[in-house]
Amino acid sequence: QQGIEKPKGYRVSWHHNPLVERYHFGQLHPMKVWRLTLTKSLIMGYNMHHAMDVYSPPAATKEEIAAFHKEDYVEFLSVATPKNIAEMYPELAQPTGYSSAVYGVGDDCPIFDGLFEYCAYYSGASVDAARKLVNQQSDVALNWTGGLHHAKKGEASGFCYINDIVLAILELLTHHPRVLYIDIDVHHGDGVEQAFWSTDRVFCVSFHKYDKEVFFPGTGPLDSTGPIHPDNPGRNHTINVPLNDGITDQDYAYLFDYVIGAVTRHYDPTAIVLQCGADSLGHDRLGCFNLNIKGHGHCVQFCVDYCTKFKKPLLVLGGGGYTPRNVARAWAHETSVCIGAADLVDPTLPEHMPNREAFRREGMTLFPNLGGWRTQNLNTKADLDKIIRSVTEQLKYVRG
């Protein structure tokens, strides 16, 4: 469905610095920068860039990054290279494996050539996107290269080094009293949650696979809703939706619509930031859900409709996603949702575009069946209802 009709002058901006595509985490590392190239191919193959303002933003500066991150950590990232890291920190090269003692670097977060430039490019795009929203030069701003939600103030974590989401939200907070952060990556958005744990000016909602001690990062149970202390303004301003393997489009949409519907009514955000990690799709290399492209895109449609209806800015970011061709399908479809053209795109992939062959595995369609029960749905009706009850109870304490 097309969603709500876009008002005259509705502007969508796409923030993408192509230089991010040049970096590599390593041959066997699941994070493939190639997915960003594929995403761009599809978006442009469908000619969707003509319906957006396209920006190639500059790299974020150290000063911009230091708005959230510790200076010594930023300095470390900017000087570390694969060559000098072993000399500076011999303990990292121990045969027992990479220790995470030094700023979180290790197997998940390797030091690769040009690491800091890579971080500065994806972060610069999120900061630029947030600024365009704040200046009202854009209504919906997209950065598919961002959304790196695990990075902490002074530590890399889970393939994330600089938390571009936190930087973008800090930018929005200069003009917006209340920002709603929504995270549909299969992993818990712990870095963003932690950064805004003690404030009521950001409301964090993450949907994720939760299995303490088994599934990364192991945080985000249902009862983790903000600080316990009654005087802390952040109290009740976090919602975690822990899920089991195999959740379907239908169950996910049921929870998303209920939770985000209720949060928007109670909290009345003035801006929304949506992290669209595509590892919640079926057939993801690291994920375990059964979502299809349209099931994932439903969440984007919901936010676009809400933001259009109430004239609120929306920042749409990427995130995880480890089956590159499906990541590209999802983010291309979600771009079409943002420009209000979801019904206009031909599900058969464009004849003329770079890297078209990369999509052959599932057939040349934008909407392959990804829900094919690789893992069955282990979320029961009772599980879903427990979440609904908990959220309903919690929100009684939010504005109202």
Is 266 annotated in the active site? no
Q: Which of 21, 164, 185, 284 binds ligand VJV (CB under 6 A)?
A: 185
Query: Which of 286, 353, 358, 364 contacts ligand VJV by CB under 6 A?
Result: 286
**Binder of ligand VJV out of 146, 158, 246, 295 (CB under 6 A):** 158
Nearer Cβ to Ca ion (162/239): 239
CB closer to ligand VJV, 249 vs 279: 279
Token pair 């879903």 in the structure block, residue? 384
Catalytic residue selected from 16, 176, 188, 296: 188
297 contact, one of ligand VJV, Ca ion, Zn ion, none, CB 5-8 Å limit per kind: none
Residue type, 277: G
Amino acid at 349: L
Q: Looking only at residues 208 through 237 of this chain, which bind Ca ion when binding is defined by CB under 5 A?
A: 208
**Partner that binds at residue 183, options Ca ion, ligand VJV, Zn ion, none, CB closer than 5 to 8 Å by kind:** Ca ion
Q: Does 279 bind ligand VJV (CB under 6 A)?
A: yes
Say whether residue 21 binds Ca ion (CB under 5 A): no
| 279 touches Ca ion (CB under 5 A) | no
Residue 34 in contact with ligand VJV, rule: CB under 6 A: no
Considering only 29, 62, 175, 356, the residue that binds ligand VJV (CB under 6 A) is 29
**Contacting positions for ligand VJV (CB under 6 A):** 26, 28-30, 107-108, 148-150, 158-160, 185, 187, 216, 277, 279, 286, 319-320
| Residues classed as catalytic | 188
